[in-house]
């Protein structure tokens, strides 16, 4: 997958994950893309631990892997930045 595909897929996954984790109003577009791209790497790693495939191209299974990874990344960010 090319770098532009990673950015687009990461942006979509990060945006969807930020909506699900209710962080969309606090995050910008660039942060969504970064969370999605990092999430794709994390999701690929997590899925490979269970014998699954990671991000293999610009397709629905890759988007789901990136989405799950982005949710994990945003959950960790939420734990770190949570106000008490």
Query: pLDDT for 5-42, tens place per residue?
Result: 777 777 888 888 888 877 766 667 777 778 878 887 88
d(CA 51, CA 5): 24
Q: Give the pLDDT score at 70.
A: 84
Q: Give the pLDDT score at 24.
A: 65
pTM (predicted TM-score): 0.74
Query: pLDDT for 56-74, tens place per residue?
Result: 667 787 788 888 888 888 8
Q: Give the pLDDT score at 76.
A: 85
Q: Give the pLDDT score at 51.
A: 76
Q: Give the pLDDT score at 53.
A: 65
**Is residue 84's pLDDT more than 60?**
no
């Amino acid at each position: 997958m090319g770098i532009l595909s990673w950015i687009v897929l990461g942006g979509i996954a990060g945006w969807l994950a930020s909506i699900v984790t209710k962080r969309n109003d606090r995050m910008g577009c660039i942060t969504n893309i970064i969370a999605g791209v990092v999430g794709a790497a994390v999701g690929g790693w997590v899925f490979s631990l269970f014998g699954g495939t990671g991000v293999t191209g610009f397709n629905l299974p890759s988007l789901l892997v990136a989405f799950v990874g982005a949710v994990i990344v945003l959950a960790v960010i939420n734990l770190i930045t949570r106000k008490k």
